[in-house]
């Protein structure tokens, strides 16, 4: 988001060609603003349901379509990656990835939306801190025996 705001002059600017007219608007409108659109949709859906303004048949159809499109997009991305690059030598790896492509639409997608929304809020507040990071390591190291050669 920092990069997009820093280079906002490129947005819909014909001087930058396809990047300014196609690629940059894609990242601004479909990537940067997506968490706002998504959270607005969730809140509107929830409020309509709580107020009784949401027909159960419509709600079921809408959720089925939204989840189905998310699954379709994820599975298609995995399939295109496999057809183009053949990165998964074992079929079991590919099947596991396809299962994860389905499961990501039930919780993980919403969690990443939350993280992106928090990042957007931090950017607006000009908070540029990762917080305190303490080194943890993997555990104590064993002492070297006397007379051993140093590691290269």
Query: b or e along 53-63 (b: 16 or more beta carbons within 10 Å of the residue's beta carbon)?
Result: ebeeeeeeeee
Q: What is the pLDDT of residue 10?
A: 95
Q: What is the pLDDT of residue 144?
A: 66
Q: What is the pLDDT of residue 148?
A: 61
What's the pTM?
Answer: 0.71
Q: What is the pLDDT of residue 79?
A: 93
Percent of all residues in the chain with a pLDDT value above 90, rounded to a whole number = 71
| CA distance linking residue 149 with residue 106, whole number of Å | 53
Residue 113 predicted with pLDDT over 70: yes
Q: What is the pLDDT of residue 69?
A: 95
Inter-residue contact 71 to 105 (CB < 8 Å): yes
Residue 125 predicted with pLDDT over 60: yes
**What mean pLDDT is predicted for residues 93-99?**
93
SS (H, E, C) 63-125: HHHHHHHHHHHHHHHHHHHHHHHCCCCCHHHHHHHHHHHHHCCCCHHHHHHHHHHHHHHHHHC
Sorted by where each begins, the domain ranges of the chain are 1-32, 35-124
Q: Hunting for tokens 């929830």 — which residue is that?
A: 46
pLDDT band per the 50, 70, 90 thresholds, residue 126: confident
As a whole number, the mean pLDDT across the chain is: 89
pLDDT tens for 29-72 read 988 999 999 999 999 999 999 999 999 999 999 999 999 999 99
The three-state secondary structure class of 33 is: coil
Residue 152 predicted with pLDDT over 60: no
| CA distance linking residue 150 with residue 128, whole number of Å | 40
């Amino acid at each position: 988001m920092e990069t997009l705001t820093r280079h906002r002059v490129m947005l819909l600017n014909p001087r930058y060609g396809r990047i300014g007219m196609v690629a940059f608007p894609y990242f601004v409108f479909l990537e940067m603003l997506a968490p706002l659109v998504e959270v607005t949709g969730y809140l509107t859906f929830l409020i309509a349901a709580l107020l009784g303004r949401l027909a159960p048949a419509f709600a079921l159809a809408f959720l089925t379509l939204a989840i189905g499109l998310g699954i379709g997009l994820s599975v298609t991305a995995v399939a295109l990656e496999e057809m183009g690059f053949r990165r998964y030598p074992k079929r079991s790896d590919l099947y596991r990835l396809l299962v994860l492509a389905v499961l990501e639409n039930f919780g993980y997608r919403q969690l990443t939306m939350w993280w992106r929304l928090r990042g957007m809020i931090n950017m607006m507040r000009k908070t540029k801190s990762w917080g305190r990071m303490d080194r943890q390591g993997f555990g104590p190291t064993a002492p070297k025996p006397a007379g051993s050669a140093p590691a290269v």
